[in-house]
Every structure is written in structure tokens, then in C-alpha cells.
């Protein structure tokens, strides 16, 4: 008999989740479509005034991307709980937090990454200056994994309850606020020619913390959810 | 049977599980050695599934004591030694039996000299290896889950209603798997309603009184 190594197990979980996401490509396209529609509607609602759009572009793109991510968050562990895969994952002789970390990574790759890819397009539609685009992307690269990690933690906490969508949204709101403030703050500072590194550094620090703690919290929460 | 074995694999003393302070089953006393099969018998709702989920480590011990190889009941001690097959088969519907097995092997490791292809042929899924599980019948799905038992290394099998949805050949398959497992020095706890016949003698019985 040979035991599976941790790296093999990580690869297996990551590959499985990416394969499943690819087989349901329509689900990946949904948040992207949503973000496109929202960003397209803003100029229609506010009028095609360059100065106004330029001022709100950074914030609109950030909020749109984060909201689009929420659409897919709810489903992170749902199918695994329904078909018993989660039980098998919990019972596997592997560190559960690391396995869940892989699941969160797969989730980020399939929902957040496509959104980051179209973010320059959305920002361009709202006339965000090209010089600020880099800061916007950097802010998104730090804010989206943060949201994936925080979201996964809350999804795990509400996993035992039915109709958890509402509860999830309520719990996520206060955690989202600082992420949006720092990310939008960086973009706004860059737009005004001010130093923007401080809010980005704060986001990075928070991400480092969440990267370590959120999978552990997820693992504990899911064990509790199954133990009922 | 190796009832003279010095240290039993699994020992339960006054074991019970409480849900909202109401006992779901128990108190139960039983001992399981390697090379033994125990049938868990009881009416619907008597707590058979709960017992298996508890032994798998999904539920906490309510009251009483459990020992694994004579030592305490902790997760690290049992890592990789227990395989649980519940009502939910743990198969991804959008993936083929082969892909599902590969994931399981990635998590648990696999037995020496076993491959996903040969294992799937053994459980009677030849020709269906690469079909999405979604398109298989209930019995075939069950067989795809049973293939895990053959591929993954484990000492103790916890099988919750392994005979459900299976045809006559499938039931014989489960019995064959159990006999081979026991002959190799494994042990199994099986919940069932139907009569079970083994060539290797009369199995142990654990009666649930709910």
C-alpha cells in the first residue's frame, strides 16, 4: 500500500474542481455577463459625461466585480455536501484545511480570474485613465482572493442551514466594506496623483492573514456542520 | 476467525450518540477484530447510519468509550485506515467513474498492484469507465462507488446499505469483496436489512435497539 502524498492530494482536488468548472462553463460565464451588463448600464443611467464617469469608474468596477463574485459564492461547497464528496474529503487522511484551500483556489481561478481579465474592458468603457489601470488591477488581484477566502469561511459556517443565501449576504457585508474601502481608496489616490501604496499594502497584509486563517476556519466550520 | 487476537481493532463500551440530548442509539457494547465482519441490524430509524457516521469520525462520541487498536479515539490514529461508504456515494455526476476514482486515489493513495481500469472491470463497469456518472443507472453508480473499496488501502470498511440498488450479481459482488477483504486481514461493519450469506462463516451481529 502507498499513502498519497499531500502534494498529490492537492493536485487531485484542484484538478477535480477545475474539471468540473470547465464541464459547466455556462456557470463561469454568468458572473462575467453580470459584470458586463452592470458596467454597461451605468453610463446609460448617469449620462455620458466624461468627467463624472471617470470619477466613479474605479469604484464602479470594483463593486461590480465583487458583487459578481457573490453570485457564485453560495455554490462553493453546496454540490460537495449534496453528493457526499465533502464527507469523503473530510475523511481522507489529508490536512483538511489545505484541501479546502485548494477548493478556494479553484473557485478563485474560475470566478474571479475571468472577472479580472474583463476588468480593463469595463474600466475602459467608463473612461478610467490608462495610467490608473495598473493600480485597479493590483487592487482587484488583492481584493478578490480576500473575498473568496472570507466568503468560503462564511459559506462553511452556514453550510448546515438551509436557505443560507440571505444569511450569507448579511454576514458578508461588514467584511466586504473594508476591502472595498481600501481597494477603491488606492484607485482614487492613484487617480488624483497621490501615493497609493499604503492602502494596497493594507490589502496585502489582510490577504496574508486571511490566506492562513480562513482555510483553518473553513475546515473547523465544515467539521461542525457535518457533525449533526 | 481470529477471536484470540490480542488487541481488537475496534472496541466500544456503552457507546451512544445524543442528538439534542436525546439518545439516537445505544448504549452499545461490541468488539471488532481484524478478519471479522459485523452486521449492524435494526429497524428504520434505529440509528444504524448514525453509528457508522460516528465510527467514520464524522460525528462526535456522545457517551461511552471507543478505542482504536486499544488506544484512544483520535483522528490521526485512524488516518487512512477507515473507508466509509454512505447513502451519498461521494461521486461527481459530471465526471466519469475513472476520473472519480483518480481523485479518491489522489486523496487516499492506492493499493499495490491495483489500477483504476482493472478495478472498474472487477466491479462490472467495463465499457462504462469514461461515461459521466450522471448517465449511469443507480446500480452502476453504486458499483462505481464500490470500486473505491478495491482501489484504496484501508483496514476497516464502514458500509451503509451496500446492497441497496444492486442486482443479484451486484450483491454477490459485495459479498465477494467483503470475503476477500476479511481474508486479507481487514474488517468491516455493514448495515443491512436483507439476509447476507458469507462463505467464511457466520458474521458477528450488532443489534440496535432504538
User: Higher confidence at residue A132 or residue B4?
Assistant: A132
Specify if A1 maps to a domain: no
Look at B45-59, B158-172, B192-206 and tell me which has the smallest mean pLDDT.
B192-206
Q: A108 and A116 in contact (C-beta within 8 Å)?
A: no
Residue A24: its chain B contacts at CB < 8 A? 94
Specify if A172 maps to a domain: yes
Res B23: pLDDT: 83
Look at A202-206, B76-80, B139-143, B191-195 and tell me which has the smallest mean pLDDT.
B191-195
Residue B60: its chain A contacts at CB < 8 A? 227
Model confidence over B125-169: pLDDT tens digits? 999 989 999 999 999 999 999 999 999 999 999 999 888 888 888
Specify if A201 maps to a domain: yes
Res B1: pLDDT: 45
Q: Which domain holds residue A209?
A: 6-226
Res B200: pLDDT: 61
Q: Given an 8 Å threshold on Cβ–Cβ distance, is B110 in contact with A2?
A: yes
By C-alpha distance, the chain A residue nearest B99 is A16
B196 to chain A, any CB pair closer than 8 A? The answer is no
Specify if A187 maps to a domain: yes
Minimal CA separation from A14 to chain B, in Å: 10
Specify if A100 maps to a domain: yes
What does the pLDDT average to over B45-56? 88
What does the pLDDT average to over B65-72? 87
Q: Is the pLDDT of residue B2 over 60?
A: no
Task: Please write down the HEC assignment for all residues of chain B.
Answer: CCCCCCCCCEEEEEEEEEECCEEEEEEEEEEECCCCEEEEECCCCCCHHHHHHHHHCCCCCCEEEEEECCECCCHHHHCCCEEEECCCCCCCCCCCHHHHHHHHHHHHCECCCCCHHHHHHHCCCCCCCCCCHHHCCHHHHHHHHHHHHHHCCCCEEEEECCCCCCCHHHHHHHHHHHHHHHHCCCEEEEECCCCCCCCCCCCEEEECCC
Specify if A43 maps to a domain: yes
Domain boundaries, chain B: 1-79+185-210
Specify if A199 maps to a domain: yes
pTM of the predicted model as reported, rounded to 2 decimal places: 0.91
With 0-12 / 13-18 / 19 or more C-beta atoms within 10 angstroms meaning exposed / middle / buried, residue B88 is: middle
Q: Given an 8 Å threshold on Cβ–Cβ distance, is B58 in contact with A99?
A: no
Specify if A141 maps to a domain: yes
Residue B106: its chain A contacts at CB < 8 A? 4, 8-9, 11-13
B75 to chain A, any CB pair closer than 8 A? The answer is no
Q: Phi-psi category of A182—alpha, beta or left, where left has phi over 0 and alpha has psi -120 to 50?
A: alpha
Mean pLDDT score of chain A: 91
Q: Residue B76 — very low, low, confident or very high, per pLDDT cuts 50/70/90?
A: confident
pLDDT < 70: residue spans in chain A: 1-3
Number of structural domains (chain A) is 1
Pick A8's closest partner by Cβ from B88, B92, B106. B106
Q: What is the dihedral of CA A42, A48, A49, A50, to 10 degrees?
A: 90
Q: What is the ipTM of this complex?
A: 0.87
User: Higher confidence at residue B116 or residue A2?
Assistant: B116
Res B144: pLDDT: 93
CA distance readout (Å), A208 to A97, A138, A153, B30, B149? 15, 15, 15, 48, 40
Q: Given an 8 Å threshold on Cβ–Cβ distance, is A19 in contact with B108?
A: no
The residues with which A98 forms a beta bridge, in sequence order, are none
By C-alpha distance, which of A222, A224, A214, A221 is closest to A81? A222
Model confidence over A123-174: pLDDT tens digits? 999 989 888 999 999 999 999 999 999 999 999 998 877 777 788 888 888 9
Q: Is the pLDDT of residue B106 over 60?
A: yes
Q: Which of B107, B130, B138 to mutate to test the interface with A (most CBs of A within 10 A)?
A: B107
Question: A57 CB contacts (<8 Å, ≥6 apart)?
Answer: A123, A126, A127, A128
Superfamily name and number for B1-79+185-210:
P-loop containing nucleotide triphosphate hydrolases (3.40.50.300)
Model confidence over B10-32: pLDDT tens digits? 888 888 888 888 888 878 888 89
Q: Is the pLDDT of residue B96 over 80?
A: yes
* CA angle B8–B14–B20, rounded 5-degree value: 130
Amino acid at each position: 500500500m502507498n499513502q498519497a502524498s499531500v502534494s498529490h492530494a492537492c493536485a487531485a482536488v484542484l484538478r477535480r474542481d477545475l474539471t468540473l468548472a470547465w464541464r459547466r462553463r455556462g456557470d463561469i460565464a454568468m458572473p462575467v455577463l453580470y459584470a458586463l451588463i452592470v458596467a454597461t448600464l451605468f453610463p446609460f443611467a448617469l449620462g455620458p459625461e466624461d468627467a463624472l464617469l471617470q470619477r466613479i469608474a474605479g469604484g464602479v468596477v470594483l463593486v461590480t466585480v465583487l458583487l459578481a463574485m457573490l453570485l457564485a459564492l453560495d455554490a462553493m461547497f453546496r454540490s460537495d455536501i449534496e453528493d457526499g464528496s465533502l464527507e469523503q474529503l473530510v475523511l481522507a487522511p489529508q490536512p483538511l484545511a489545505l484541501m479546502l484551500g485548494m477548493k478556494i483556489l479553484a473557485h478563485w481561478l474560475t470566478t474571479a480570474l475571468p472577472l479580472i481579465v474583463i476588468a480593463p474592458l469595463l474600466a475602459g468603457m467608463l473612461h478610467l485613465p490608462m495610467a490608473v489601470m495598473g493600480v485597479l488591477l493590483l487592487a482587484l488581484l488583492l481584493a478578490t482572493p480576500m473575498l473568496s477566502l472570507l466568503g468560503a469561511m462564511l459559506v462553511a459556517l452556514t453550510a448546515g442551514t438551509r436557505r443560507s443565501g440571505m444569511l450569507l449576504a448579511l454576514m458578508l457585508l461588514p467584511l466586504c466594506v473594508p476591502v472595498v474601502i481600501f481597494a477603491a481608496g488606492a484607485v482614487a489616490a492613484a487617480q488624483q496623483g497621490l501615493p497609493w501604496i499604503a492602502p494596497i499594502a493594507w490589502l496585502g497584509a489582510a490577504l496574508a492573514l486571511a490566506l492562513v486563517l480562513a482555510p483553518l476556519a473553513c475546515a473547523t466550520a465544515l467539521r461542525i456542520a457535518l457533525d449533526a | 476467525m481470529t477471536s484470540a487476537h490480542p488487541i481488537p481493532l475496534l472496541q466500544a463500551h456503552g457507546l451512544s450518540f445524543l442528538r439534542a440530548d436525546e439518545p439516537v442509539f445505544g448504549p452499545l457494547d461490541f468488539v471488532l477484530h481484524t478478519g471479522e465482519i459485523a452486521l449492524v441490524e435494526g429497524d428504520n430509524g434505529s440509528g444504524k447510519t448514525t453509528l457508522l457516521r460516528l465510527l467514520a469520525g464524522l460525528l462526535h462520541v456522545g457517551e461511552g468509550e471507543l478505542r482504536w487498536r486499544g488506544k484512544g479515539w483520535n483522528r490521526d490514529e485512524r488516518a487512512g485506515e477507515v473507508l466509509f461508504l454512505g447513502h451519498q456515494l461521494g461521486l461527481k455526476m459530471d465526471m466519469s467513474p475513472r476520473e472519480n476514482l483518480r481523485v479518491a486515489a489522489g486523496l487516499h493513495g492506492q493499493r499495490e498492484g491495483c489500477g483504476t481500469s482493472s478495478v472498474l472491470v472487477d466491479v462490472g463497469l467495463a465499457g462504462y469507465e469514461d461515461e459521466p456518472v450522471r448517465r449511469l443507472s443507480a446500480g452502476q453508480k453504486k458499483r462505481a462507488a464500490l470500486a473505491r473499496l478495491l482501489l484504496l488501502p484501508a483496514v476497516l470498511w464502514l458500509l451503509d446499505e451496500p446492497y441497496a440498488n444492486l442486482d443479484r450479481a451486484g450483491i454477490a459482488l459485495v459479498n465477494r469483496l467483503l470475503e476477500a477483504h476479511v481474508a486479507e486481514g481487514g474488517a468491516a461493519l455493514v448495515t443491512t436489512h436483507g439476509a447476507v450469506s458469507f462463505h467464511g462463516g457466520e458474521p458477528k451481529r450488532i443489534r440496535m435497539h432504538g
